[in-house]
Amino acid sequence: MKLVYILGDQLTRTLASLRGCRKDDTIILMAELDEETTYVGHHKQKLIFILSAMRHFAEELRADGWSVDYVDLEAPENSGTFSGELARALERHRVDEVRVVKPGEWRVQAAMDEWPGKFDVCIRFFDDDRFICSLAEFNDWAEGRSALTMEYFYRQMRRKTGLLLDGEAEPLGGRWNYDKDNRKPAKPDMFMPQALRFAPDDATKAVMTMVARRFPDNVGKLEPFGFAVTRADAEKVVDHFITHVLPRFGDFQDAMLTGEAFLYHAVISPYLNIGLLDPLDLCRRVEAEYEAGRAPLNAVEGFVRQIIGWREFVRGIYWREMPDYVTRNFLAADRPLPPFYWTGETEMHCLAEAIGQTLDHAYAHHIQRLMVTGNFALLIGADPRQVHEWYLEVYADAYEWVELPNTLGMSQFGDGGLLGTKPYAASGAYIDRMSDYCTSCRYDVTEKTGENACPFNTLYWHFLDRNRQKLKGNRRLAMPYATWDKMEPSRRRQYLERAESFLESL
């Protein structure tokens, strides 16, 4: 007999560990665990999403004839850990072989590395081939390069998958990357597609009741809960995205609008990350839309780049750089994250919107994460580890392999430039250009001094000034430093004082 251990983010029928197994010689083990539900204070909807999706997946496997041993979070003997539940399962079942796909997080891999010495049974680990690039292939690509640039990695993935190619090796349309066509701001009166949401069924309602009782103080609202929790419904989200959103996905990728959480985004990362959707399959469907003339190249290329480029790239970086990556703090930032990150209660309208919708939906799109909450944390010098833990808590799609490089690396420059060539620091002008937030803010985005001045404006200069020793060699910052140096000393002093007094008020 074989025992296949399926983790909460491995809800895929074609999982490598299941291949070659027969229904009559295999037990599938799945376990809801204290350790996993509490290693950070997950958003209530993130917990509901994962636990409900696990339960639905187990039911589907059973309906298909598999034997599934499913351990509920509140089962009396539940040990609360992956290792503890394997030990208990080995007492319940006589098996010769345990099979498991390697986990996404270093923390869990460290525990599993002990299994071969701990259990008197053959343990077989499988690479997670739901990703397009194996970790070995990523390391081969990275080896010997002086800089790891996503763009070059992405081109390799395009050639490997054949996506959007003209012939064997050249990009369709003559360019690899159409990003510069994708920076249109949104207009408040433009047509906005409605995100597809699903009413909770009885199984999800049971999980909601449990989460409400067991995790009352966790961040975020319990409801309305609208995520898909099955593959069939996740596929409906993809259909909806392709029909209503994809054609304009590129144009408005960076835009932000008051009251509009989803805009022209796919809202599929939670499903991709737990295995309800397949990344390559998704990209091929999107490519077919271009071929059929239903979506423009800038939208399709932009989407494919996020999936086979960024998503695979950050995973490669994570596994290459862990375990010490999580402790990096290039700018020696140590300020606690302000309490309003957990309530949304701030007079800065951009932050109130981005955090508010995060609490409401366990979702914010990339630019809100990077240029609003991330930018602000960077400018005030927040401790990158705390910032990382916040992102890991609040988003339904957050797993360390994808969240950590994006947060600590790209957004907080904690790795000193491995992921981004310069810090994503910006004044209020950027937020004003890409959103309508500033028009209804208590602060004035055009002001730099005085009580009404937008805090981002002077924090930006304060950030550059206080980190000068570490950043002065960065060629991409030469212009802002030159502008700063040309300013009247009295003006510089005023900016720094305004920023200091704001920082004290935090």
| Cβ proximity to ligand SF4, 277 vs 367, nearer residue | 367
- The alpha helices in 371-427, defined as continuous H runs, are 375-380, 384-394, 400-404
- What residue ranges bind ligand FAD (CB under 6 A)? 265-269, 272-273, 303, 306-307, 310-311, 314, 365-366, 369-370, 374, 391, 395, 397-398, 402-403, 406-407, 410-411
Report if residue 438 touches ligand SF4, rule: CB under 6 A. Answer: yes
Stretch that binds ligand SF4, among 225-233, 253-261, 363-371, 439-447 (CB under 6 A): 439-447
Encoded tokens for 453 = 């001045």
CA proximity to 325, closest of 432, 421, 413, 404: 404
| Cβ proximity to ligand FAD, 17 vs 306, nearer residue | 306
Beta partners for residue 122, in sequence order: 97
Q: How far is the CB of 453 from ligand SF4 (least distance, A)?
A: 9
Residue number of the CB atom closest to ligand DLZ? 8
User: Cβ distance 381 to 335 under 8 Å?
Assistant: yes
- CA neighbours closer than 13 Å in the CB half-sphere of residue 340: 18
Residue 168, class by beta-carbon neighbours within 10 Å (0-12 exposed, 13-18 middle, 19+ buried)?
exposed
User: Cβ distance 340 to 355 under 8 Å?
Assistant: yes
| Cβ proximity to ligand DLZ, 18 vs 50, nearer residue | 50
| Cβ proximity to ligand FAD, 200 vs 302, nearer residue | 302
d(C-alpha 179, C-alpha 83), whole Å = 45
| Cβ proximity to ligand SF4, 161 vs 358, nearer residue | 358
Question: Among 428, 436, 448, 499, which residue sits at the site for ligand SF4 (rule: CB under 6 A)?
Answer: 428
Q: How far is the CB of 459 from ligand SF4 (least distance, A)?
A: 10
Q: Which of residues 233-292 bind ligand SF4 (CB under 6 A)?
A: none
Report if residue 441 touches ligand SF4, rule: CB under 6 A. Answer: yes
Asked whether the bond before 323 is cis by omega within 30 degrees of 0, the reply is yes
The dihedral sign for the CA sequence 493, 494, 497, 502 = negative
Residues across the chain? 506
Q: How far is the CB of 341 from ligand FAD (least distance, A)?
A: 13
Report if residue 47 touches ligand DLZ, rule: CB under 6 A. Answer: yes
162 alpha carbon, distance to own chain's centre: 26
Stretch that binds ligand SF4, among 36-44, 308-316, 448-456, 485-493 (CB under 6 A): 448-456
User: Cβ distance 352 to 360 under 8 Å?
Assistant: no
CA proximity to 73, closest of 43, 33, 41: 33
Encoded tokens for 489 = 């000393």
User: Cβ distance 230 to 53 under 8 Å?
Assistant: yes
Q: How far is the CB of 455 from ligand SF4 (least distance, A)?
A: 6
Which residues, other chains included, contact 315 with Cβ-Cβ below 8 Å and sequence gap of 6+? 104, 131, 133, 135, 138, 401, 402
Q: How far is the CB of 285 from ligand FAD (least distance, A)?
A: 13
Report if residue 463 touches ligand DLZ, rule: CB under 6 A. Answer: no
The binder of 431, among ligand SF4, ligand DLZ, ligand FAD, none, by C-beta within 5 to 8 A per type, is: ligand SF4
Instruction: Report helix, strand and coil shares of the chain as percent, to nearest 5.
Output: 50, 5, 40
Residue 439, class by beta-carbon neighbours within 10 Å (0-12 exposed, 13-18 middle, 19+ buried)?
exposed
| Cβ proximity to ligand DLZ, 80 vs 185, nearer residue | 80
| Cβ proximity to ligand FAD, 2 vs 388, nearer residue | 388
Stretch that binds ligand DLZ, among 42-50, 156-164, 312-320, 423-431 (CB under 6 A): 42-50
What is the three-class DSSP state of 444?
strand
Q: How far is the CB of 495 from ligand FAD (least distance, A)?
A: 26
Report if residue 356 touches ligand SF4, rule: CB under 6 A. Answer: no
The binder of 402, among ligand FAD, ligand SF4, ligand DLZ, none, by C-beta within 5 to 8 A per type, is: ligand FAD
| Cβ proximity to ligand FAD, 303 vs 430, nearer residue | 303
Residue appearing with tokens 């990703």 = 131
Report if residue 301 touches ligand DLZ, rule: CB under 6 A. Answer: no
Report if residue 8 touches ligand DLZ, rule: CB under 6 A. Answer: yes
Which residues, other chains included, contact 14 with Cβ-Cβ below 8 Å and sequence gap of 6+? none
- Which DSSP helix (H) or strand (E) runs through 104? none
Q: Using CB under 6 A as the criterion, which residues of the chain lie in contact with ligand DLZ when the complex forms?
A: 7-9, 31-33, 36-37, 42, 47, 50, 103-105, 108, 399
Q: Using CB under 6 A as the criterion, which residues of the chain lie in contact with ligand SF4 when the complex forms?
A: 348-350, 428, 431-432, 437-438, 441, 443, 445, 454-456
